[in-house]
Amino acid sequence: DQQVKQNSPSLSVQEGRISILNCDYTNSMFDYFLWYKKYPAEGPTFLISISSIKDKNEDGRFTVFLNKSAKHLSLHIVPSQPGDSAVYFCAASDRAGNTGKLIFGQGTTLQVKP
């Protein structure tokens, strides 16, 4: 039962262009969503989050969009840089349940070409 899905295993973009990573979820109880970035041999690092009361959250080059009716969120990186090359995980939680437990997607490997 995959509650959080990232259907694109990989994405390749040119430096300076926009990277768009997508994530779908099935559990309507999820009310908090996060993106993590992971480099090889390191643990995931928190990137950006969004609460279900918002539809957009921006932090520098990173913007997360949430479409609750479609149960879909996306991460936009503009402009993309070679240092952004990593695996990106979408995660979701039921904050109202107050456990902090995160359910992760399978990850999307982003390659930004110079």
Partner 1 sequence: EAGVAQSPRYKIIEKRQSVAFWCNPISGHATLYWYQQILGQGPKLLIQFQNNGVVDDSQLPKDRFSAERLKGVDSTLKIQPAKLEDSAVYLCASSFWGNSPLHFGNGTRLTVT
Sheet holding 19-25, edge to edge: 4-5, 19-25, 72-77, 62-67, 56-59
Q: Does residue number 45 form part of the binding site for partner 1 (CB under 8 A)?
A: yes
Rounded Cα distance, 58 and 100, in Å = 22
Q: Does residue number 44 form part of the binding site for partner 1 (CB under 8 A)?
A: yes
Q: How many CB atoms lie within 10 A of CB 78?
A: 13
Binding to partner 1 (CB under 8 A) within 84-113 occurs at: 89, 91, 93, 95, 98-107
Q: Does residue number 30 form part of the binding site for partner 1 (CB under 8 A)?
A: no
Q: Which residues bind partner 1 (CB under 8 A)?
A: 4, 6, 32, 34, 36, 41-46, 49, 89, 91, 93, 95, 98-107
